[in-house]
């Protein structure tokens, strides 16, 4: 199978020395990419800035901003069988990037932000992707209800939800614990190292894909 995985954070520049980002380390997405490659599949990893090594036998496109990730994913998605969106993409980006370092002048500073394009949300419509589509949901409340809204709203076959308010899971942790939200059922995967969890996820996603293409 041809598999695209997004991973890591995005960085949205404010001025030449500052940016908006989040706590994603890339560990979960890189583990998923590695598990697909180890299972013999052709993997393209599109990643925001991380300090991780690219897994062996994985093709890699580094990006910085949400707009760059949108463009790269849009370019490659149509030829993929499976796409897994693990990246923590900025939902908002500065309306304009200051050409020079912003000076410390007043007591407060207003920064105007505009919405970024939803890459996962563009997969079915704008990018015409018909393969198996897996999103992630990072939530701090109402985990399953919020994940299910993403499942239907973004046309996914599966949303992998993680409660990122808990210690030891979610952002920048070694392990994770996830709730798999399928259209017709829910499955819990207990706490495990991200590398182990990724193997189970890959098996589940491949089963889902085989069922989808055989019906």
Q: Which residues bind ligand PMT (CB under 6 A)?
A: 6, 24-29, 66, 85-89, 91, 116, 118-120, 135-138, 150, 162, 164, 170-172
Give me the least distance between CB of 176 and ligand PMT, in Å please: 6
CA 67 to each of CA 43, 83, 97, 99: distance values in angstroms, whole numbers, following the listed order = 21, 18, 14, 19
Give me the least distance between CB of 105 and ligand PMT, in Å please: 32
Residue 168, sorted as left (phi over 0), alpha (psi -120 to 50) or beta, turns out to be: left
Reply yes or no on whether 22 is catalytic: yes
Nearest residue (CB) to ligand PMT, 16 versus 32: 32
Nearest residue (CB) to ligand PMT, 108 versus 197: 197
Separation of alpha carbons 3 and 17, rounded Å: 35
- 35, 198 Cβ separation under 8 angstroms: yes
Q: Which two tokens stand for residue 40?
A: 């013999």
Give me the least distance between CB of 164 and ligand PMT, in Å please: 6
Nearest residue (CB) to ligand PMT, 109 versus 189: 189
Q: Which two tokens stand for residue 10?
A: 């995005």
Which member of 2, 22, 142, 162 is catalytic?
A: 22
Active site residues: 22
């Amino acid at each position: 199978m041809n598999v695209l995985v997004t991973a890591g954070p995005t960085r949205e520049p404010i001025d030449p020395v500052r940016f908006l980002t989040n706590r994603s380390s890339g560990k979960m997405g890189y583990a998923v990419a590695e598990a697909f490659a180890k299972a013999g599949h052709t993997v393209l990893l599109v990643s925001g800035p991380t300090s991780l090594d690219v897994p062996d036998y994985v093709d890699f496109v580094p990006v910085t901003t949400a707009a760059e990730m949108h463009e790269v994913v849009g370019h490659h998605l149509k030829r993929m069988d499976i796409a897994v969106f693990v990246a923590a993409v900025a939902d908002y980006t500065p309306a304009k990037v200051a050409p020079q370092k912003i000076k410390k002048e007043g007591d407060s500073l207003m920064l105007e932000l505009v919405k970024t394009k939803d890459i996962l949300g563009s997969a079915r419509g704008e990018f015409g992707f018909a393969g198996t589509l897996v999103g992630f949901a990072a939530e701090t409340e109402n985990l399953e209800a919020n994940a299910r809204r993403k499942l239907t709203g973004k046309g996914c076959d599966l949303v992998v939800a993680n409660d990122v308010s808990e210690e030891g899971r979610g952002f920048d942790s070694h392990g994770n614990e996830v709730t798999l939200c399928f259209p017709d059922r829910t499955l819990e995967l207990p706490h495990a190292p991200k590398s182990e969890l990724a193997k189970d996820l890959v098996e589940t996603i491949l089963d889902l894909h085989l069922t989808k293409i055989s019906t």
